[in-house]
Structure 1
Amino acid sequence: MTSSIDRDDSSIFDGLMEEDEKDKAKRVSRNKSEKKRRDQFNVLIKELGTMLPGNTRKMDKSTILQKSIDFLRKHKEIAAQSESSEIRQDWKPPFLSNEEFTQLMLEALDGFFLAIMTDGNIIYVSESVTSLLEHLPSDLVDQNLLNFLPLGEHSEVYKALSTQ
């Protein structure tokens, strides 16, 4: 009788060992899949970080995602604003795009275009600012206009900005 009990115990033990091996194989497979997913995510985050304007320092993942969201929001706002303020076609030659016409007008006027929020935050700067102020547009965007003005002018400019 002991031999049949030993066989039963042995087969139960073998069955438990097989289940442990299956569980281990599942866990190893799941870990590989998770690592592959994390590695792919990290590659995409790194690529996204290289596409952000003004990327001069190493940023963590959450900073890259936040800056990407901010950039896309601004891009969406600017696109919506530019659609609503398209240049009338009779003002420009038909062979020029709106962007080319705007750039030529700014160069002819020896000026630049600056879009700011009521709090003074700069949201857009035309490329022509570089030749006039020796600043890249990407250096000025997300800065406050008051940072570039003498202290004595802050209150007057702030008052003008906040007047609706």
Structure 2
Amino acid sequence: MKRRPALAGLTMMLVAALAACGGGTDKAASSHGGKADSAYAGQHQDRQDRDDKVSGVRDAVRHTTRKTAKGTRPHYVKKCETETRKVKHTQRKKGRTRTWYTTDRYRDCDKVRKGTETYTRVVRPERWCVRLDDLNGKKAKDDVWFRVAPAVYSKVNGADDRTRVTFEPISKGC
């Protein structure tokens, strides 16, 4: 009985020490309604690691259109048949066993291949890209491509060449 308070005190000290080492609240959990979802926390951490906004001198813009191709794949249809099976029934009454059989009907469905169907597949997605010089004020960082949203692309495309622009990229590279 004397061990429980000592164990509780030791646990409390361990929790306090770990909280002190942790550096505060979990930002992913507090901004996500208290749920520390691992996928959300990882996404949140990735967003913190990269700089949200980049700035630099507008060098070039590039818009690549979506490229599609026609493809064919097998077409499957649902084919159902009515099947029957023999069901055995047993009844015990006053030491005697009575057995009889009935026929049970059920549907057996399968997907079967019936011809082909044509579909459109995306070979290359549509992309909007911007190339910057003097990235974040560093003269050595030139010709860095960023993928951006269409609205950001149109804003940067409307700006003059060699104008300083600031935006939030979707990803690095084009």
Calculate the TM-score normalised by the size of structure 1: 0.29
Per residue, is there more helix in 1 or in 2? 1
Per residue, is there more strand in 1 or in 2? 2
The structure whose Rg is larger is 2
Query: Which one scores higher on RCO, CA 8 angstroms, separation ≥ 6?
Result: 2
